Amino acid sequence: MKKTILDYTLKIRLPITLFVVALAFVATFYISRAERDGIGYAPEQPIKFSHELHTGKMDIDCQYCHTGVTKGRNALVPSVNICMNCHSVARKDKPEIVKLRDYYKSGEVLPWKRVHKVPEYAYFNHSVHVNYGIRCESCHGDVRKFERIEQVKSFTMTGCLDCHRHPEDQLSYIKNVKKGPENCWTCHR
């Protein structure tokens, strides 16, 4: 008996269609999950600033630029003035440094793209963690090796609570490490 188009559709097209649909679901699931976690987010920045060069090779202290880490909620990203402490002289003819100087001269704020962000309704504070002795790497990865900053850890509620409940897994370098709070109101004020 001769096969009709309908037979082909059911036998070949339908399974293929179902397969593609299933694949699409799986893909969307992982993509949207990645977006929610933020893991792997590494936007291109307006100036190619390398942490590897400045903190890995040159060994500049994190706090030279991120002056807020022991003082309050935000680590703070440095203003162009701090860069110009060195770059009014260092590598001043390189294209990226010429760009930097243009921002400096115009007084325009450098539009760095924010990488890590918890939603407004959740409260995070750098100084509490940093002053307790938690290293930047425990939350941001080994930044000294990063050419470009990338989010490596999840800061969803589960991400925060994983460490608060089992700090010994992530903070083995702190002796008799204490647990972080789990009360809703410490993070949702």
Q: Kindly identify the residues of this chain, within the stretch 143-182, that bind ligand HEC according to CB under 6 A.
A: 143-144, 149, 155-157, 160-161, 163-164, 167, 170-171, 178, 180-182
* Integer Cα distance of 112 and 177 in angstroms: 35
8 A C-beta contact, residue 113 and residue 38: no
8 A C-beta contact, residue 104 and residue 134: no
Tell me, by CB under 6 A, how many residues bind ligand HEC: 73
Q: Where does this chain touch ligand HEC (CB under 6 A) — which range of 4-12, 13-21, 25-33, 75-83?
A: 75-83
Residue type, 185: W
Least distance (Å) between residue 26 CB and ligand HEC: 21
Least distance (Å) between residue 44 CB and ligand HEC: 10
How far from the centroid of its chain's Cα atoms is residue 108's Cα?
24
How far from the centroid of its chain's Cα atoms is residue 9's Cα?
47
* Integer Cα distance of 170 and 164 in angstroms: 10
Q: Where does this chain touch ligand HEC (CB under 6 A) — which range of 6-14, 16-24, 26-34, 83-91?
A: 83-91
72 near ligand HEC (CB under 6 A): no
8 A C-beta contact, residue 107 and residue 101: no
Question: Between residue 23 and residue 52, which ones bind ligand HEC under the rule CB under 6 A?
Answer: 36, 45, 47-49, 51
